Amino acid sequence: MPLEIRLALVFGLLAVAIAAGLIWRARTGKAKRVSGGEQINLAELAAVKDGKPVVSFGKKVTFLQFSSEFCAACRQTARLYSELEQVHPEILHIEVDITNRIDLANKFNILQTPTTLVLDANGKVTSRIGGAVKQQTIQDEIGSFVI
Amino acid sequence: MSDGTKQTPAGIDPRGPRFGAAITSVLLLITVFLALDPTTLGAAFGVLLVVTGSFAIGAFFGNSKHPYGFIFKKLVRPRLAAPKELEDPRPPKFAQLVGLLVAGTGVVLYVAGASGALVFAAGAAFIAAFLNAAFAFCLGCQIYVGLQRIGLIKKH
């Protein structure tokens, strides 16, 4: 194969990889509104927080984060929610590891981790965030709830 | 059934695996270039063997025992500021295993006579390694749950 074509193919591959990365970065961590969202059943989640079962939702908003074992972004996202929980007592962050809960992954159609479901005070899903979350996105979500 | 606070192995500098992924993506791009011409296909196989071997070390022994991890620790990290946070070593290890499967498939098919498969295996592995190095793309986050849901990974 002529050198020019080989170089063109190699740079083409590089361009495809850069384009894929830019698209991925632009899409990840965005909150999408969910209309007619379902009611979350805390007993079914069997979520544990600070060693105790979670039995009630956040006063204003709950961030339900689904994580998995081999997920670096899940740790960063969980840390971010925990920090915001310190300054916003009206929010609650729940993390559920779905590595052993494929039933939940199927039920909520989770393809990537972290995936966050944003719940209102009654535990109804209002938005869905796929991928690592940015602080601004969380603050916007908190601001979108009025009580 | 976990709150995400179960005991995790000692953390690693998240820039270590990304430094390794940068070296790997350069090697894989060279592999693709060499594999595109029959006269250099043998050389492409040689480079892919090296990359496959490095994936095997990463997948079975982790980044801390990896030659790229060693270079990072001795030559790169001393010149950088301390990391903001440490990272769980298991996600990058999982990514190395996926890399091993993809690059290894190229090696096996080449040896079996399907030498045309080499360029595709190298190209696919390049995209994953490049996204990891340049965009902090985490393969375990993106595909682990999906693989489990379609039954390719079984976890008790």
pLDDT at A6 over 70: yes
What's the rounded mean pLDDT across residues A112-140? 95
User: Complex ipTM, two decimals?
Assistant: 0.86
Kindly report the length of chain A. 147
> Average pLDDT, stretch A121-135?
95
pLDDT digits (tens, 9 = 90+) for A55-92: 999 999 999 999 998 898 999 999 999 999 999 999 99
Confidence check: pLDDT of B88 > 90: no
pLDDT of residue B59: 95
**A31-33 and A125-130 strand pairing:** antiparallel
What is the tens place of the pLDDT at every residue in A31-58? Answer: 999 988 899 999 999 999 999 999 999 9
Residue A79: predicted pLDDT: 93
Helix or strand or coil: residue A130? strand
Residue B2 pLDDT class (50, 70, 90 cuts): very low
What pLDDT score was predicted for residue B103?
97
Give the 3-state secondary structure of residue A7: helix
Q: Helix (H, G, I), strand (E, B), or coil: what is residue A81?
A: helix
Per the prediction, chain B carries an average pLDDT of 90
Residue B5: what pLDDT?
45
Q: Which residues of A91-121 are buried (b: 16+ CB within 10 A; e: fewer)?
A: bbbbbbbbbebbebbeebebebbbbbbbbbb
Q: How sure is the predictor about B9, in pLDDT bands with cuts at 50, 70 and 90?
A: confident
**B91 contacts on A by Cβ (under 8 Å):** 70-72
Structure tokens at B111: 């040896």
Would an 8 Å CB–CB cutoff place A56 in contact with chain B?
no
The pLDDT-based confidence of B83 (bands split at 50, 70, 90) is: confident
pLDDT, mean over chain A: 93
* CB burial of residue B57 (10 Å; 0-12, 13-18, 19+): middle
Q: State how far the Cα of A56 lies from the Cα of A43, in Å rounded to an integer.
A: 10
Average pLDDT of span B91-120: 95
Interchain CB contacts (distance < 8 Å): A and B:
121
Chain A, residues 117-136, CB within 8 A of chain B, namely: 131-132
If you write DSSP's letter for every residue of B100-120 in order, what string do you get? Answer: HHHHHHHHHHHHTT-TTHHHH
Query: Which residues of chain A have a CB within 8 Å of the CB of B4?
Result: 67, 74-75, 78, 95, 97
Distance from CA of A129 to the nearest CA of B (A): 14
DSSP element (H, E) containing A52: strand A52-53
